[in-house]
Structure 1
Amino acid sequence: MTPLAARLYRRGDSTIRSILGMCQFVEISAILDMAQEMGRADVDAGCDIYSELAQLPAPLTAVEYCFEGTRSTLLCEQHGNEIHYSAFYEIEGSENPADFRFTTGFVLGTPMNTPITWANFEGEPGYETPNARMPEGDLRQRTARSTSLLLEKALCILNQPGLVERLPRPTDKRVIRESAKDRLSAPPTQWFQCKIRHGLHGTAGDQPGADTSPRPLHYVRKHFKPSVQKWIEGYWRGDIELGVHLKWYSPQPSRAG
């Protein structure tokens, strides 16, 4: 169970504990920059379709990450081509419990978002606002939409064959003890920290005369193909040992270890 999820478990009621006890847990902080790159590329390409590749690793999955000093856990559930999630935030270093913020979701293979339910000031479910009635540019709408886009792209990265390595980490022992004390179903004893697997990924140049010299890992963005009237999925290719090339940011080459 990831760090924030473990704190949610220890502070939560029997309902939240029951849900967390059935989840698979992944921590994706290391791939957030890549997910953002994919989201920006989709916007630039004019694509607002949620990829059908964005499948959850398990029907109930907790996706956790830290971004700009705030740790977030998205409790996700998949039904067919619909992914629904509840978002919890916690500012790092704060002694306050994690705040429930909103519940929403999206439909794979479409541009559709499910209605957004935001918490009220007491942290309980507040009001439900279908997208059609959200004021243009509303901060709540933009926050939920950007979180959905980030989640979708992270799932696409996780599901590209051979790209991501999932490193097992142990669940907080206090969670295991408390579940046994309360006679609840034992939660998973480990969670998975995600990172890009070392080595070469994707395919070489697929056009005649294409440059096949080694290149840093980079995103080949999705594009619309008129002959089949559909979007062709993008993917990551290149050598992670040479670093990751993002159009808006390029970190240093990775180091083995």
Structure 2
Amino acid sequence: MTPLAARLFRKGDEDTQRRLAAAQFFECTALTPLALEMRKADDAESGFSSSAQLPAPNTLIEIMLRGKRMAFFCQQHPEQGHVAVHAISDEGDRGIHIGWRATFTPGSGEVSIDEEYTTSKEREDAAYIGLIFIEKLLCIINQPGLVERRARDTDKRILREVKARDYEPASPKWHECHIRPGVHGSEGEDGGNHREHQLHYVRKHRKPSLGPDRWIDGYWRGNADLGIHFKHYVVHAPG
């Protein structure tokens, strides 16, 4: 389990422990700048990408942001077609903070935010922004060849406790995600030579030739060995 997930397991009740034992874990701190870049670049009107699928039905994504560990417990619900996300943060001496709960549907603009955890407009906005961030992380993880998953061993004390409590066997490995070195994106995507360009994001865009409301998902292309190029976007109000 990732660091915050292991802390949650030790402090959690039986239901929490069973849910965590059945999950796959991904530490994605190294992908955070890329996800934030995508969030800034893409048009919110395009909705959530159909590529934002979970690596496993129960997936915990963990990051370190501004010195704070945050975890997003995600569950795929094939029957309803949506992904449920539960945000949790480690507040240090103040303990673990239960944040927001919300769902989104890949390939659509459908969002549902649990009002029990979002008692103000500010917290509701934070939950929506958090959903978009998770969508972007999932798109990065799912882009072919872009991410290297480095296997790490789950704490043996947790594995022993899971076995002793007769829970579903926990995964003996969790994964630390990094950008894989080398060239990404096919040569045909822009007709150029990716080796001459840093890794950069091609924002989501409409393609009228495929239909009036057809969106092409954004993707990363270029040579990661040359570094990563982040753009500066200026958003203007319509009209």
Q: Normalised by the size of structure 2, how large is the TM-score?
A: 0.89
**Aligned residue for 2:217?**
233
Q: Deviations over 1:184-209 (max 9, x none)?
A: 2331111000001111111236456x
Number of positions where the alignment pairs a residue of Structure 1 with one of Structure 2: 229
Higher percent of residues as helix: 2
**Aligned residue for 1:247?**
231
**Given the superposition, is the C-alpha separation of residues 178 and 34 from structure 1 closer, same or farther in structure 2, using an over 3 Å criterion?**
same
**Given the superposition, is the C-alpha separation of residues 184 and 214 from structure 1 closer, same or farther in structure 2, using an over 3 Å criterion?**
same
**Aligned residue for 1:222?**
204
Q: Partners of 1:213 and 1:85 in 2: how far apart?
A: 37
**Aligned residue for 2:155?**
172
Where structure 2 has 5 or more consecutive residues not aligned to the other structure, the ranges are 234-239
Cα distance, 1:95 vs structure 2: 3.6
Q: Deviations over 1:102-150 (max 9, x none)?
A: 211111111121132444xxxxxxx7x7xxxxx7xx2111210111001
Q: Partners of 1:64 and 1:212 in 2: how far apart?
A: 31
Identity of aligned residues (%): 40
Q: Secondary structure at the match of 1:72?
A: strand
Paired amino acid for 1:97:
G
**Given the superposition, is the C-alpha separation of residues 248 and 169 from structure 1 closer, same or farther in structure 2, using an over 3 Å criterion?**
farther
Q: Secondary structure at the match of 2:52?
A: coil
Is it true that 1:108 corresponds to 2:91 in the alignment? no
Q: Partners of 2:3 and 2:217 in 1: how far apart?
A: 33
**Given the superposition, is the C-alpha separation of residues 7 and 200 from structure 1 closer, same or farther in structure 2, using an over 3 Å criterion?**
same
**Given the superposition, is the C-alpha separation of residues 213 and 205 from structure 1 closer, same or farther in structure 2, using an over 3 Å criterion?**
farther
Aligned CA RMSD, in angstroms, stands at: 2.0
**Aligned residue for 2:13?**
13
**Aligned residue for 2:39?**
39
* Structural mapping, 1:1-150, within 5 Å: 1-43=1-43, 47-80=45-78, 81-91=81-91, 94-119=92-117, 138-150=121-133
Q: Partners of 1:178 and 1:101 in 2: how far apart?
A: 27
Paired amino acid for 1:9:
F
C-alpha contact 2:184 2:194 (8 A) present in aligned 1:
no
Q: Secondary structure at the match of 1:61?
A: strand
